[in-house]
Structure 1
Amino acid sequence: MQCPVDGDTLVISERSGIEIDYCPTCRGVWLDRGELDKIIERDAAATMPPARGGRDAYDDRGERGGKRRKKGGLLGELFDFLD
């Protein structure tokens, strides 16, 4: 498939089950139908706060704990090949 911007050949990359077409020259990114919806759904699920009231959600000092996401969140992880 050709890049609509500069005509270069697009490269296909799969990240987290989402197929991303990108141009190595202009760094443009294109998604197939439904791929943006998948990204939005996964990002929303990943950014939901932990359930309240459980001891698991807090550390010994009473501060929020849990897994820290890499800066940039899910979108940063999906598009890290552009850096």
Structure 2
Amino acid sequence: MKCPIDGTPLVITERSGVEIDYCPQCRGVWLDRGELDKIIERSAAYSAPPSPPQQQRGYDDQGDHGYRKKKKRGGFLDELFDF
């Protein structure tokens, strides 16, 4: 099958039991019937409950006022679309 955008042959890969067609040129992703539902179901099952809040610290020399950026944990979709 060819990419509907640029005509490049699509590459088929399987991630977590879901078959994904993608274009290596434009990086477009195409799913067959029912595959989006599988992704949504697995994404919901993969989500972990939120971690408990951390104790707030006071002002320090770096001027962050006790606030730190939380590192985002990769989710199901990150694994799924990591080509």
TM-score by shorter chain over 0.5: yes
The 5-angstrom pairing of residues 1-83 of structure 1 reads 1-49=1-49, 71-81=73-83
TM-score (norm 2): 0.69
Q: Which has the larger radius of gyration?
A: 2
Give how far 1:49 is off.
2.6
Matched residues, percent identical? 75
| Structure 1 consecutive aligned stretches of length 4 or more whose deviation exceeds 2 Å | none
Gaps of at least 5 residues in structure 2 are: 54-71
TM-score (norm 1): 0.69
* Higher share of residues assigned helix: 1
CA RMSD in angstroms, aligned pairs only: 2.1
Secondary structure in 1 matching 2:19 = strand
Q: Deviations for 1:37-56, whole angstroms, at most 9, x for unmatched residues?
A: 00000111111539xxxxxx
Gaps of at least 5 residues in structure 1 are: 51-62, 65-69
Q: Which residue type is aligned with residue 40 of structure 1? A: I
Aligned length: 65
